[in-house]
Amino acid sequence: MSWKMLQRIEDYAADELSGEQFLQTQRLLLEDDQMRHLAEAYVRMLALFRAVGTRSPDPPEDVAQQAVGRALEATRTAAAPSRKEASGSATDPQEEEDE
């Protein structure tokens, strides 16, 4: 299947064809099961995109606060030295054997 035909099926699914192109594409879809299934998939995909586009992408406030809190805690934990590092004790048993 050519890119041109894929584009035509996409345009058909988006209801962007008019007149003769619409009728030709409709005839092709009736004759070819694979192309018809592809057009149906495009229609479903476009409906999904439209539905997603109408929803707010913002998470609920409490979810956002929890995520920010976890990120800050992870940053603090990563930046703070461990007790062993702060006291100067070895953290690798191999290092202790070498001494």
Confidence at residue 60, expressed as pLDDT on a 0 to 100 scale: 74
Residue 82 phi, psi dihedral angles, 5° rounding: -70, 165
Of residues 7 and 90, more confidently modeled: 7
Q: What is the pTM of this model?
A: 0.49
- Structural domains present in the chain: 1-79 (1.10.10)
Query: Is residue 9's pLDDT more than 70?
Result: yes
Q: Which of 17, 4, 8 is closest to 42 using CA atoms?
A: 8
The residue to which tokens 């894929």 are assigned: 6
pLDDT at 22: 92
Confidence band, pLDDT 50/70/90 cuts, at residue 50: confident
- Give me the pLDDT at residue 85, please: 57
- Cα–Cα distance list, 50 to 28, 44, 59, 92 (Å): 26, 10, 19, 56
DSSP assignments along 30-92, one per residue: HH-HHHHHHHHHHHHHHHHHHHHHTS--PPPHHHHHHHHHHHHHHHHHHHSPPHHHHHT--S-
Mean pLDDT of 7-26: 90
* More confident: 46 or 91: 46
